[in-house]
Amino acid sequence: MNIQAVANQDKSSPLAEKERNVSTLISTDALAMLEHGGELTMGITTPVGTTFRCKSTFIGTHSTNLVLVELPKISDDDLDFFFQSGFWTAVRAISHRGEGAIVHFRSQIEHVFAEPVPMVALTIPHTMQVTQLRKEPRYDVNLDARVNASTYKLDCQIRDLSKSGCCFITAPLSRAFQIGDEIALEIKPSMGKSNNFEPLFGKICNLQSSLHYARYGVQFDEAGTTNAKHLLANLKFDGSKLTLR
């Protein structure tokens, strides 16, 4: 049987710091942090202790206290064996909002639907664990930019920004970046404005892809952090997000 393993990168940090960054939230509040279409990881355990890990996509919640998730693209044998009602699963999903967090909870498989829309329904526990990822908040923005790599350039849109990093998206069929790629983000001036900003330099530290776009997380270097501070000082709140003055 082909058991799909999912790599789990855990950056070392003192135990006390990890404990301070973990909080317990009511499930309604924790699930509100997740974006529809976002990636999540499921770790299913059978009654005899066999485990199976796979990645899938968060659809949303149902009013009957269920989480709806797409059936992962795995073999029919694995689907039949591991995706059975009553099996327990540990779910982890990344929230890119605010300070960024990992939402994780334990749930039971309630229903499995093969058609007309392949998906699985999971029970919702009363509370969920939330682990903060960043030491500072990221602000929602909507900035048109151009990302420059060593050999090519792409138009992109910066979706959130902090002093030490950001998230940008590109068209799904654009050439893909890889973790570790060094890039520079050039902010495009707003219509009718002549403000110019120094590029945001950094490295790709995470990536996600969906039907509509590819999402990349960036960690700035020293120059990028300096330029990001200047950029943030020139943004204003328009009622829903930060925009250029």
Give the domain CATH number at 19: 2.30.110.10
Domains held by the chain: number: 2
Look at residue 50 and tell me if it is in a domain: yes
Do 120 and 178 lie in a common domain? no
Higher pLDDT, 36 or 124: 124
- From 68-77, 95-104, 175-184, the region with the lowest mean pLDDT: 95-104
Q: Is 107 part of any domain?
A: yes
At 139 the pLDDT is 84
CA distance 164 to 91: 28
Average pLDDT over residues 19-29: 81
Do the domain assignments include residue 204? yes
Q: How far apart are CA 106 and CA 223, in angstroms?
A: 42
Residues 117 and 190 in one domain: no
Mean confidence (pLDDT) of the chain:
86
On whether both 49 and 70 belong to a single domain, the answer is yes
Based on DSSP, count helices (H) and strands (E) in the chain, helices before strands.
Answer: 4, 16
Q: What percent of the chain has pLDDT over 90?
A: 58
Amino acid at 108: Q
Whether 19 shows a pLDDT value over 50: the answer reads: no
Contact 223, 229 (CB under 8 A): no
Which of 168, 162, 196, 161 lies closest to 183, judged by CA?
A: 168
Q: Which range marks the domain in which residue 57 is found?
A: 15-132
Q: Has residue 127 got a pLDDT over 50?
A: yes
92 domain residue, yes or no: yes
For residues 149 and 239, membership in a common domain is answered with yes
For the cut 90, the answer to whether the pLDDT of residue 196 exceeds it is no
Could you tell me the pTM of the whole model? Answer: 0.58
Query: In this predicted model, which residue has the larger pLDDT, 245 or 33?
Result: 33
d(CA 25, CA 62) in angstroms, rounded, equals: 19
- Among 132, 154, 187, the domain boundary falls at 132
Name which residue leads in pLDDT, 208 or 1: 208
pLDDT score of 145 more than 90: yes
Residues 67 and 170 in one domain: no
Tell me, yes or no, whether 86 and 46 share the same domain: yes
Q: Among residues 132, 153, 171, which one ends one of the domains?
A: 132
- Same domain for 115 and 165? no
Domain stop point among 105, 132, 159: 132
What pLDDT shows up at residue 5? Answer: 37
